[in-house]
Chains A and B, each alone.
Chain A
Amino acid sequence: MNLDAELELWREQWQASSEAPVLTDLRKRVARQSLYMRIVLIAEILVTLVIGGGTMLLAMRNPQPAMLILAAATWLFITAAWIFGLSNRKAAWSPAAATNSAFLDISIRRCRANLRSVTFGAILYAVEMTFCLSWIHHESGSLSSTLIGVIALVTLIFATVLIWYRRKKRFDLSYLLNVHRDLTAE
């Protein structure tokens, strides 16, 4: 075979593989996270309206000290959650500019905010459960084994989800920090 023809044949065979590369698209990642943040915000508003409004209605219909304490505590927890949520998400809603560096920065900020919310969520859950169990015990004089079983199961599921979510976010953060380090390294 002619040498040039041989090279031309190899060239055709080599270039026949024209698969297009897929880059990790930071913009898509940020857009997906923004959508998720909006869904979480709507969920938080609904929880506030349903649980906060519900306990308030109960307290208004039955203004006993126990019901007033339940409503006040519920609103205290809701307020704490809102204050934490708003301050935690501050500066994490939109990138500073439409550049990859800005999208990388916001992805890192969001990952860190998610990790902080895992810690806050665990603490708030523990405080709420302690209050709820104390309140039920005070009102009914005892805690049924069924109730304890249900709470133990819910706690187990909640803890598993939190641990899984924390690991996922730590992995994401480590990846994003590596990209950031690569970009800023001289």
Chain B
Amino acid sequence: MNLSTAASFEAADSESTIEEQLNRLLTENGPALLRLASSYTNTSSDRDDLFQDIAIALWKGLPRFRGECSERTFLFRVAHNRAIDFLRRHRAPTSPIDAESPIRDARPNPETGLAQEQQGERLRRAIHRLPLPYRQVITLTLEEMSYSEIAAILGVTETNVGVRLNRARQLLRQLLEKSK
């Protein structure tokens, strides 16, 4: 076997390892990433596009990952960067908080068996209306990330995370109250 053949086998092997890693990460965190993508987009097709962008960014980024942070932190950092980039490119509206326009639930009577699902939908709509910095912190908190992980993902201090989270919770509470 000559050197170039050996090198190409090595490259293919390393590529396969990265793909296995990527597939595992996407299998383990796919639903969480999809929820994150949906908090940045208005339609399911935009959400799927953003998810695809995130998967490609991970594919590109994994070879450079040297374990400076946990895989999950790395994954969500890439996802957030991609989501911000997606917002820039698509100029997706970040619905400002408007006290006069409560979030209406388009579904019928909440006292039916679908109440739980409706509450989830109401929460997602309310989160979608939060200003971006608060939305980022609350979605990561709801994905069970610690302050330090959120700080590492967003590139802010842990104190800042705490402040943003408190404000996000207040606003979310108000929005959910109005939507009742």
Contact = CB atoms under 8 A, between A and B. Distances in A.
A182 B15 contact: no
A7 interface: yes
B60 interface: yes
B31 A21 contact: yes
Given A7-B141, A11-B142, A97-B12, A18 B31 contact: yes
A35 interface: no
Interface string A1-39: 001001100110111111111111000000000000000
A14 B59 CA distance: 27
A183 B19 CA distance: 13
Given A7-B169, A23-B52, A15 B59 contact: no
A142 B173 CA distance: 86
Interface residues of B, number: 35
Given A7-B141, A99-B15, A19 B34 contact: yes
Task: Name the prevailing secondary structure of the B interface residues.
Answer: helix
B68 interface: no
Report the interface size class on chain A.
20 to 34
Contacts of B48: 21-22
A98 interface: yes
Contact of B119 (A13, A18, A24, A101): A13
Contact of A10 (B16, B26, B34, B172): B172
Interface of A: 3, 6-7, 10-11, 13-24, 97-101, 179, 182-183
22 contacts: A7-B141, A7-B142, A7-B169, A10-B123, A10-B142, A10-B172, A13-B116, A14-B124, A14-B127, A15-B143, A17-B31, A17-B35, A19-B34, A20-B34, A21-B26, A21-B30, A21-B34, A23-B51, A23-B52, A98-B16, A179-B56, A182-B53
